[in-house]
Structure 1
C-alpha cells in the first residue's frame, strides 16, 4: 500500500485526467494511505492477543489479501479511465465492481473476527484493552457504511435497468459536484464517505489517546492511576462514537459537513458538554489509599 501510494501520488502529479469531478488518481492515493494506517494498526492489535494468535494471523492475512485485490481493481480501472465504484455501464465494469464488493465483505468479516478476539482477550492495561475493543467495534460500523453507498439513488431507481451507475457517495446531490480540497467530500450535500472515514480511523485515534495518557503520566500525578486512564479512555471512546453518529446522521440528512443546521449544532454542543463534563469527572482526584498503590505500580 505504501508503494502504491507513491505510484498514485506520481499519477496525481503527471496525469491530468479528471473523473467524476476529481483527479483520477485521487481515489487510489487516498485508499492506499488509508489502508496503510488501517492495516498497520490491525497488525499492532494482533500482537496484544495472549491467545488465538493463529486465528488472528489468518484473519489478518485475509485482510491483507482482500485489500490488495481491492486496490489492484481500483488501480486497473484508473488506468482504463473508468469508474471503479458503482459502475455497471458494461458487463466487465459490473463484474469488477461485484468482485470489489465481495472482497470488502470478506475483509469486513475478517475484521469482525479480529474484533471478537480482542473482546475476549485479557490485556493487562485496561485503558489499552477497552480503547482497542471499542475502536475495533466503531471501525466495523464505519466500514459497513460502505455497503450503504451501493444502494441506488431515487434517480437511479427511476432509470431502472438503464442506470449505468448504481450507488453514490453523496446524499441529496449528485456525485462530482463541488468538493472540499484534499478530502474530496461534498460541500453542497451529505457525503457518506465522511462517516466511513471517521468510523474506520477510530482504530488509530482511540489507541493514540491512551498512548498520550501514558506519555503524560510521569508529569501528571492523576494520570498515574490506571483507573483514571481507563475512565478517560472510556470517555474518549464514547465521545468519538457520538461524533461518528453525528456525522453519519448529518450525511444521511443530505447536509454538508461544513454547513450544519441548528439541530446538528445543538447535538454537537451537547456532545462537547457531555465530553467535557465526563472528562472532569474522570479526572477527579482519587483518595490516598487508592492513589498510592497505583502510583507505586506505575513508578516500578
Structure 2
C-alpha cells in the first residue's frame, strides 16, 4: 500500500490507537447519558442546562480521539513516541471529563472554581491534565512532520491542521487568569470565558458563546478543530478534481490548502483580538469586519491566482479519495 493510499483510507480500525478509541467509545456513551440528563434534570448553570457542558466536551473529545487514533496508526517514524503521547492524552482527557461530570452531579462549575478546597483540587487536577494533553498533542504533531506522504497536498493539510490545533488549544490559557473584578472582590471563581462581563450572560443556543461580550471559547474551539477543518478542505478539493482538471495538480491543491490554512490562522487571530476587546462575535464592529473582509479578499485572490497560473509542474500521483482511484 502506498503512502497516498494510507492517508486516504488508512489502516483498519483494529489497528488504530487503542486507548484513544476506548476514550471515543466512552465519550459516545457520555453524550447519550448527558442528553438524557438534559431531559430529566432541569438544573441550569451559567445560563445553560447543567448537562450541556458534558455534551459539548464529550463531543469535542470524541472527535479529537478518533482523529488522532487514525493519524497515529499511520505513522512509521516516531510511532512509539506518538503511541505513548496518545495514551497520555487519552488518560488526561478522560480525567478532565470525570471532573466535569463530578461537578455537574454536585451542581457547580468545574472550571476556575476555588469555592472549597475540594473544588480547587478538582480544578487543579483538571488543569494539570489539560497541560499534559497539550504537551502530548505537540509530540504527536511533531511526529507528523517526520512522516510525509507522497502527496504533498495531504501532507500540508495534516501538518497545518495539527499546528493550528495546538495553537487553538494553547489559546485556552487566556481564560485561566482571574479578571480585575475577581481580584478586586476576592472571588472564589478565578478565570473566565467572557471578557468584559461575568460568565453566564446571554449566549448562543447550545454553544453558550456570549452574545453581549467577548468570548475566548470561540478561537479556542475553532483552533482546536482546525485538525478536522483543514483536511476537510483538501477532501473537497480532491472530490472537485474529478470534475475540474485544473485541480488534478497536487501542487495546486497544496497551494490552495496552504492558503486555506493561512486564512484560518488569520481568522483565529482576529477572533482572539475581538474577544479580548470584549466584543461579541455576533456584534462585530467596523474594524473586525474590515479585518475579516481583508482575509476573505486576500484568500479569494490567492486561490484565483493559483488556479489560473500556468506552468505548475504536474505530479505523478493521481487523486485518491477514500482509497479509490
Interval containing the TM-score (normalised by the shorter chain): over 0.9
Cα displacement string for residues 186-233 of structure 1 (whole angstroms, at most 9, x for unaligned residues): 011000000110100101100111111112222210111110110111
Equivalence for 1:225: 249
Partners in 2 of 1:298 and 1:209 — Cα distance?
14
Q: In the alignment, is the contact (CA less than 8 A) between 1:222 and 1:285 conserved in 2?
A: no
Aligned equivalents of 2:63, 2:250: Cα separation in 1: 27
CA distance in 2 between counterparts of 1:297 and 1:151 reads 50
Q: Are the structure 2 counterparts of residues 297 and 8 from structure 1 closer, same or farther at C-alpha, using a change threshold of 3 Å?
A: closer
After superposition, where does 1:200-239 map in structure 2 within 5 Å? Answer: 200-239=224-263
| CA-atom RMSD in angstroms | 1.5
2:22 paired residue number: none
**Equivalences for 1:66-215 in 2 at 5 Å?**
66-160=92-186, 163-215=187-239
2:48–2:206 Cα contact (<8 Å) kept: no
TM-score by length of 2: 0.87
Compare 115-124 and 188-197 and name the one that shifted more. Answer: 115-124
Shift of 1:2: 0.8
- Pairs aligned (count): 295
Greater RCO, 1 or 2 (C-alpha within 8 Å, sep 6+): 2
Normalized against structure 1, the TM-score is what?
A: 0.95
Q: Is structure 2 residue 274 aligned with structure 1 residue 250?
A: yes
Q: Structure 2 CA distance, aligned partners of 1:220 and 1:48?
A: 30
Query: How far apart, in 2, do the equivalents of 1:43 and 1:21 lie?
Result: 34
Residue ranges of structure 2 left out of the alignment (5+ in a row): 1-26
Do the aligned partners of residues 96 and 297 (structure 1) sit closer, same or farther apart at CA in structure 2, a change above 3 Å counting? closer
Report if the CA contact (8 A) 2:110-2:122 is conserved: yes
Q: Secondary structure at the match of 1:180?
A: coil
Gaps of 5+ in 1: none
Q: 1:119 touches 1:133 (CA, 8 Å); kept in 2?
A: yes
